[in-house]
Amino acid sequence: MILPMPKYRVGLIGCGNIGTAFAELLTERRQAISAMTGIDLELARIAVKDPAKKRADFLPLSLFVEDPIEVASAPDIDIIVELVGGVDPAREVLLTAIGSGKPVVTANKELIARHGPELFEAAQSNQVDVFFEAAAVAAVPILRPLRESFAGEDVVRIMGIINGTTNYMLTRMSDEGISYDEALSLAQQYGYAEPDPSADVEGTDAASKLAILASLAFKRAVPAEAVQRDGIEGLDQEDFQLAARFGYEIKLLAVAKAIRNPATGEPEIGAQVFPALVEKTHPLASVRDTYNAVAVSGAAAGELMFIGHGAGRAPTASAILGDVIATADHLQRDSYRSVPVGPRATPYPIDDLTHAFYVRMHVADEPGVLSDVSGVLARHGVSIRLVNQEGLRDTQKSATVVFITYQAAERAMREAMEELRSHNSVVEVGRVLRILET
Amino acid sequence: MILPMPKYRVGLIGCGNIGTAFAELLTERRQAISAMTGIDLELARIAVKDPAKKRADFLPLSLFVEDPIEVASAPDIDIIVELVGGVDPAREVLLTAIGSGKPVVTANKELIARHGPELFEAAQSNQVDVFFEAAAVAAVPILRPLRESFAGEDVVRIMGIINGTTNYMLTRMSDEGISYDEALSLAQQYGYAEPDPSADVEGTDAASKLAILASLAFKRAVPAEAVQRDGIEGLDQEDFQLAARFGYEIKLLAVAKAIRNPATGEPEIGAQVFPALVEKTHPLASVRDTYNAVAVSGAAAGELMFIGHGAGRAPTASAILGDVIATADHLQRDSYRSVPVGPRATPYPIDDLTHAFYVRMHVADEPGVLSDVSGVLARHGVSIRLVNQEGLRDTQKSATVVFITYQAAERAMREAMEELRSHNSVVEVGRVLRILET
């Protein structure tokens, strides 16, 4: 007896840039997938705002409908792929699909970062999959290992370069010695940065992704609001040159750590996004242009790193298709996989997080200044590991001094900088950059 | 109604270094795992050669038995973890377990590389899992993404640094300028290399791992015998210095590519292990010491890279535990996941594979030599991209010349070198190293 090949009908919500790429990849790979997995995936319906609009040739008009909720609840649709973005109506669409027993796949970073726990819980009670590999770091297959391979692992830190736009800008500033503004207009010219680049350069995009990654890594919901952000705006070319001289690259890092509260014994999560000095020999330093990378430290597994395209049509479509195949495989076996994210994590106080810091200052070029400045740092409990004094910077007789500190608490460093900003001998305090501990 | 928590009883075959580490990790994490996944994993029995031998304190003697086949077929054991290594009796143990309907987890590289397809088929007909994340690149969770996230992806190349011992040696030779012999005895001193280091330095270990990785990446069985090997023995310190001057590191790479046969349209797999020049700015160049890395290129996903510990007790135990949890999760849902490896891949002829090459020669320091040597290369269709001539090497009036070629076929390069070895003006032909194309 030959069993008929199981066929699953996919309902796609949204058909913009990524939606079209996914539809194209699914159409193109349909035969190869069924040859390999024994599952036939049919793109059965697409919900868009304007169903009458002319689309790519491989997408017949008959596929298009207007109402996403109708598709999400349609009895002849088996899997919902949501690529419309934003919270409304995506949240309602996914809850409807889940409520009618359909597994869902989404690339919606904002939705998962803000409403992940609600969706995970609904999926659990309806015993269906929620997959969202493309919602964080696109084609880098990091979420599945975190959900599955690391189920038994005690993760202590997850960090990475998870915004391609800013990594492109920082690579250009480092390689070509151009200014922040020049790097930004280059990124806009190539379509890597939006006309309003704030979500990228202010670190909010990275914070949303870090929230998703940290939730899966620590198995506790980490909301995006708990992530402290420090963007790359106003980074100075001078800092790149000084960083290079000391053997560092400057990268926008997203870092989340589990720190055990000594009183309760419970792990608390400290999460930050900031531009940091990364040693040139560290693998993260060689992650260039629009590439992304995520490093995970497990108590048993040690340090792991995943590098790949963080965005882009084809890589994102590939990640979505991988999720759709996984969920179809589960459907075939009448199975699903719950998202192992428990209740909300307790945030570790950002002020108590420690780092080594780099700071560049312009100080009056006169005797005793170094001792003054070091004195202020010392009073706040910040110890100096390295001082570098440059010659005269301009005709106003100020000198550039760079300090690299030992580990110090965020609060101590911030208070020391506040005091130094109003100090008589200090002309200007430049950007304070954290240094990646290795 | 409160459902009782499902409990699965694990039978462990082998309790050496890795087996003990796994038993310890499972014992230590048991409560955390059940809190997170709702599954209780009990280490129920351990088969070892000498059950009476005193073991670690957390392993009561009552757990130990002698006959692995009995454990594999015991009706009160749910999951078999095979950590005994080698083909016999591991193969029979796993086939017995699978035949009695038990999912199996193994870290046995040799067994999977040699008998993978047989095990996968047996598991498929018995509808049970075979997981072997720890069999290639230990704690780097690469196999699961290859099996699942990449199910819909057209993989064109998989490559990496997949032997920690040789990577440690090459890092030392590059950093400290020591000789091959010194690096080997250092590796032996730290326990990274065996007293007989041949499996590592000749590339057979890397070839087995590459066979496993390539089989999953290309979804076709690639046997270890199909992998051409070139080891690191006799690498000369001079090559490291020259490589550094041209901006390269030397790394032992394992590379498998899918090349479409123009006649049949079918992809054929070319697989090799060789020491190669890797540009210092390439992420693989910064994979140091005993770290491993695997890079996957997909038609849609682009280039992805995974870095982590390739070996070691704790990372390996962590990978095994991840597999055990995944298979327990499947058991709970009465599900399993087949290994998507089809029939044997057609090997692409190694002779037709192309690379850019680096070769160092000592030639007579006399007029016309460069033109002679270039002439030989040209006659074999090898074009030169760069020549570098060093001053006098010794009192015998020979000079060191380094050639870097454009892409050329393996056969052409080999035949050109054969001719040059017997050429009048050539004193000695050093190691030919391939250059990683980026």
Name every chain A residue with its beta carbon within 8 A of the beta carbon of B144: 144-145, 148-149
* Alpha-carbon span A434 to A356, nearest angstrom: 6
Name the residue of chain B whose CA is nearest to A280's CA.
B286
Nearest to A340 among B37, B140, B301 (CB): B37
Cβ distance of A153 and B321 shorter than 8 Å:
yes
Name every chain A residue with its beta carbon within 8 A of the beta carbon of B337: 329
Burial class of A148 by CB neighbour count within 10 A (0 to 12, 13 to 18, 19+): buried
Residue B62, Cβ neighbours under 10 Å: how many?
8
CB B309 within 8 A of CB B315: yes
Which one has a higher pLDDT value, A138 or B330? Answer: B330
Name every chain B residue with its beta carbon within 8 A of the beta carbon of A322: 148-153
Taking only the tens place, the pLDDT of each residue in A140-180 is: 889 988 888 787 889 999 999 999 999 999 999 999 999 99
Q: Six-digit token pair at B297?
A: 């290129």
Three state DSSP letters for chain B: CCCCCCEEEEEEECCCHHHHHHHHHHHHHHHHHHHHHCCEEEEEEEECCCCCCCCCCCCCHHHEECCHHHHHHCCCCCEEEECCCCCCCHHHHHHHHHHCCCCEEECCHHHHHHHHHHHHHHHHHHCCCEECHHHCCCCCCCHHHHHCCCCCCCEEEEEEECCHHHHHHHHHHHHHCCCHHHHHHHHHHCCCCCCCCHHHHCCHHHHHHHHHHHHHHHCEECCHHHEEECCCCCCCHHHHHHHHHCCEEEEEEEEEEEEECCCCCCEEEEEEEEEEEEECCCHHHHCCCCEEEEEEEECCCEEEEEEEECCCHHHHHHHHHHHHHHHHHHHHCCCCCCCCCEEECCECCHHHCEEEEEEEEEEECCCCHHHHHHHHHHHCCCCEEEEEEEEECCCCCEEEEEEEECCEEHHHHHHHHHHHHCCCCEEEEEEEEEECCC
Taking only the tens place, the pLDDT of each residue in A2-37 is: 567 889 999 999 999 999 999 999 999 999 888 878
What pLDDT, on the 0 to 100 scale, is given for residue A1?
Answer: 46
Cβ distance of B36 and A307 shorter than 8 Å:
no
Taking only the tens place, the pLDDT of each residue in B210-242 is: 999 999 999 999 999 999 999 999 899 999 999
Mean pLDDT within B278-288: 90
Taking only the tens place, the pLDDT of each residue in A341-352 is: 888 999 999 999
- A30 interfacial to chain B (CB closer than 8 Å): no
Name the residue of chain B whose CA is nearest to A133's CA.
B149
Taking only the tens place, the pLDDT of each residue in B99-139 is: 999 999 999 999 999 999 999 999 999 999 999 999 998 87
Nearest to A133 among B32, B149, B283 (CB): B149
- Spot the catalytic one: A102, A209, A219, A257: A209
A257 is a catalytic site residue: no
Nearest to A304 among B139, B301, B337 (CB): B139
Which one has a higher pLDDT value, A331 or B389? Answer: A331
- B344 interfacial to chain A (CB closer than 8 Å): no
pLDDT score of A392 more than 70: no
Name every chain A residue with its beta carbon within 8 A of the beta carbon of B285: 286
Name every chain B residue with its beta carbon within 8 A of the beta carbon of A287: 283
- Report ipTM (2 d.p.): 0.79
Stretch (H or E) spanning A201: helix A198-201
- A301 interfacial to chain B (CB closer than 8 Å): yes
What pLDDT, on the 0 to 100 scale, is given for residue B1?
Answer: 46
Strand, helix or coil for residue A7: strand
Task: Report strand pairing: B426-435 vs B267-279.
Answer: parallel
- B319 interfacial to chain A (CB closer than 8 Å): yes
* Alpha-carbon span A133 to B394, nearest angstrom: 60
pLDDT score of A112 more than 60: yes
Q: What are the DSSP calls for A11-78, one per residue?
A: EEE--SHHHHHHHHHHHHHHHHHHHHHS-EEEEEEEE-S-TTS---TTS-GGGEES-HHHHHH-TT--
- B152 interfacial to chain A (CB closer than 8 Å): yes
Nearest to A315 among B302, B306, B333 (CB): B302
- A319 interfacial to chain B (CB closer than 8 Å): yes
- A246 interfacial to chain B (CB closer than 8 Å): no
What pLDDT, on the 0 to 100 scale, is given for residue B394?
Answer: 56
Whole-angstrom CA distances from A74 to A67, A70, A120, A278, B235 are 11, 6, 21, 51, 65
- B312 interfacial to chain A (CB closer than 8 Å): yes
Mean pLDDT within B169-193: 96
Nearest to A302 among B305, B308, B342 (CB): B308
- A244 interfacial to chain B (CB closer than 8 Å): no
* pTM, two decimal places: 0.87
Among B28, B153, B249, the residue to mutate for chain A (most A Cβ within 10 A): B153
Lowest mean pLDDT among A43-57, A108-122, A133-147, B376-390: A133-147
- B315 interfacial to chain A (CB closer than 8 Å): yes
Nearest to A145 among B141, B282, B337 (CB): B141
* Alpha-carbon span B171 to B163, nearest angstrom: 12
- Spot the catalytic one: B49, B54, B102, B209: B209
To the nearest whole angstrom, how far is the Cα of A284 from the nearest Cα of chain B? Answer: 8
Name the residue of chain B whose CA is nearest to A322's CA.
B149
pLDDT score of A300 more than 90: no
Whole-angstrom CA distances from A67 to A16, A115, A130, B432 are 16, 22, 21, 64
Say which residue the tokens 């790097």 belong to.
A183
Of A288, A294, A147, residue with least CA distance to A216? A147
Whole-angstrom CA distances from A208 to A107, A223, B180 are 13, 8, 48
Whole-angstrom CA distances from B65 to A377, B51, B54, B88, B317 are 64, 5, 13, 18, 21
Nearest to B322 among A152, A287, A342 (CB): A152
To the nearest whole angstrom, how far is the Cα of A369 from the nearest Cα of chain B? Answer: 40
Mean pLDDT within A122-136: 95
What pLDDT, on the 0 to 100 scale, is given for residue A366?
Answer: 81
What pLDDT, on the 0 to 100 scale, is given for residue B247?
Answer: 94
Among A3, A153, A280, the residue to mutate for chain B (most B Cβ within 10 A): A153
To the nearest whole angstrom, how far is the Cα of A420 from the nearest Cα of chain B? Answer: 38
DSSP class of residue A345 equals P
Mean pLDDT within B333-341: 86
Q: Which residues pair with A41 in a beta bridge?
A: A8
- A307 interfacial to chain B (CB closer than 8 Å): yes
Over the Cα atoms of chain B, what is R_g?
Answer: 25
- B336 interfacial to chain A (CB closer than 8 Å): yes
Say which residue the tokens 């390539």 belong to.
B214
